[in-house]
Amino acid sequence: MKPVDDAIVGPEDAVVDPSRGLAIIDVDEVLALFIAGFARFLGLHGYDFRLTTYGLLNNIFVAGGEAQPDKDQAKALFDRFFSHGCGDLDPAPGAVDGLVSLAALADVVILTNAPESARALRGGWLKQHGMPYPMIINQGPKGPAVRTLADRVGGPVMFVDDLLSNLDSVAETAPRVTRVHMIADPALRVLAPTSPRHRRIDDWSQLVRVARDEVFV
């Protein structure tokens, strides 16, 4: 197990073993129950999060009413959550033990899209919950970062994320990588789009079985 290193700024900096396989894992709705934590944060600031459609900012309402914040207000709440509140998230069921199992099969790197302001809280959250693996803060599509990581190892590579846009980016940029679409929150799962391009697995025990029996063999 390689510990979280707050100095890591890009995929070229993460320490990986070129002779092993590599599991590249997202945080929100893969390792962490993001929606539930964001909803708690909003409640502390006078807002409700009502998951009526697939999305994030469009599901924010003034508490107890139907009014919604404007785009700038919603974005400010989102940014404040990452700079002040993203340390208050529950791990997804099975994620902690699942990562331990994956680490026995391959190196693990955490690749998360988050503002730079979230680095300390996000890294601390991983350590607090027994997931002290190298963490890369990314912005935008994840394909380029995944390709850089994948090119540094000779073994199989698996990428797990909750957003189709990131999975599509990896499919186009690093096609040799096995892609898994995971959404930990049961309510969000129902609303989320899917794609036949990517394997859908929402259960960590199943993910570990697939990794062991089909990917890192």
Please tell me the predicted confidence (pLDDT) of residue 4: 57
Identify whether residues 117 and 204 lie together within a single domain.
yes
Rg of the chain taking only CA atoms, in angstroms: 17
Identify whether residues 46 and 58 lie together within a single domain.
yes
Q: Please check whether residue 45 lies inside any domain of the structure.
A: yes
Identify whether residues 113 and 149 lie together within a single domain.
yes
In order, the DSSP letters of the chain are -PPP-TT--STTTS---TTS-EEEE-SBTTTB-HHHHHHHHHHTTTEEE--SSS-SGGGEEETTSS----HHHHHHHHHHIIIIITT--PBPTTHHHHHHHHHHHSEEEEEEE--GGGHHHHHHHHHHTT----EEEE-S-SHHHHHHHHTT-SS-EEEEES-HHHHHHHHHH-TTSEEEE----HHHHHHS---TTSEE---HHHHHHHIIIII--
Q: Please check whether residue 7 lies inside any domain of the structure.
A: no
Identify whether residues 77 and 104 lie together within a single domain.
no
Please tell me the predicted confidence (pLDDT) of residue 6: 55
Q: Please check whether residue 1 lies inside any domain of the structure.
A: no
Domain boundary among 85, 106, 123: 85
Q: In whole numbers, what is the pLDDT of the chain averaged over residues?
A: 95
Identify whether residues 120 and 140 lie together within a single domain.
yes
Percent of residues, the chain, with pLDDT higher than 70: 96
Please tell me the predicted confidence (pLDDT) of residue 183: 98
pLDDT per position as a tens digit, 82-91: 999 999 999 9
Expressed as residue numbers, the domain containing 151 is 22-33+89-215
Q: What is the CATH number of the domain that holds 124?
A: 3.40.50.1000
Q: How confident is the model at residue 49 (pLDDT cuts 50, 70, 90)?
A: very high
Q: Please check whether residue 15 lies inside any domain of the structure.
A: no
Identify whether residues 72 and 131 lie together within a single domain.
no
Q: Please check whether residue 166 lies inside any domain of the structure.
A: yes
Identify whether residues 166 and 179 lie together within a single domain.
yes
Domain boundary among 85, 111, 126: 85
pLDDT per position as a tens digit, 126-176: 999 999 999 999 999 999 999 999 999 999 999 999 999 999 999 999 999
Identify whether residues 156 and 67 lie together within a single domain.
no
- Please determine, for residue 8, whether its predicted confidence score (pLDDT) is greater than 70: no
Please tell me the predicted confidence (pLDDT) of residue 7: 53
Over range 50-64, report the average pLDDT: 95
Identify whether residues 51 and 95 lie together within a single domain.
no
Please tell me the predicted confidence (pLDDT) of residue 5: 59
pLDDT per position as a tens digit, 98-126: 999 999 999 999 999 999 999 999 999 99
